[in-house]
Structure 1
Amino acid sequence: MNNHKGLTTGQQILRFVKLSQINSSLPVWGEIFHVLYKIKRSAETRNRNLIAYKVQGNHNMEYHVENKRFVLTVDEITLNLKINELTTSILKGRFLPVEEDS
């Protein structure tokens, strides 16, 4: 299931979400976690916040190095999520990336 070269982070996540909808027994939680972990490690290595992907409403899901959380700010609400919380939320249909063109 690791054949996702050339896809954006959002496209990779959506691919795994769609696979889980087709076959709920596929182990996609770990695959999504791995995609997010690569963003986390990249941000920590560069020591700067990174945009992981775009969510509906043209908002950014970002990884913030200083608090070691994925952060989504919508209007005046800011959500801070641990990597495992975001992974589980994605599989429940929350904080999904917007569809992007390939």
Structure 2
Amino acid sequence: MQHDIQNELKQMIHSYKYKPYLPFWGEVYFILYKFKKNIKEEQKTNLFLYKTKAATPVFYLPDDGKICIELPEFKIIITEEEFIDNLLKGRFWPE
């Protein structure tokens, strides 16, 4: 199930690239909501979402409810809203 949600997220991001007039913000927020709902409450590990075009892993942090972009030198930790806004600006796109 988690793999299906990961694929749905990547597919939604890619479709926005070619059809920017489609609803995006709410769709991605809902996919992230489904992802959070599906994880077990006792699960404490970072959950892999996808790799960016630059092969940078993007994780969901269940303890904080935030997104982590793991660069080689440092980590960027942002809220879901900031993550979606950055996707709209063309940042952190999946490969």
1:82 and 2:79 matched: yes
More deviation, 58-67/12-21: 12-21
Q: 1:12-91 counterparts in 2 under 5 A?
A: 12-43=8-39, 45-48=41-44, 49-91=46-88
Preserved CA contact (<8 Å) 1:61 1:70: yes
Q: How many residues align?
A: 92
Report percent identity of matched pairs.
24
1:91 positional shift: 1.6
Structure 1 unpaired stretches of 5+: 1-5
CA RMSD of aligned residues (A): 2.4
Query: In the alignment, which residue of structure 2 is the partner of 1:3?
Result: none
Deviation string for 1:56-97 (max 9, x for gaps)? 232221111222211011112211111111111112111111
Structure 2 unpaired stretches of 5+: none
TM-score (norm 1): 0.69
Q: What SS does the corresponding residue of 2:64 show, helix, strand or coil?
A: coil
Q: What SS does the corresponding residue of 1:56 show, helix, strand or coil?
A: coil
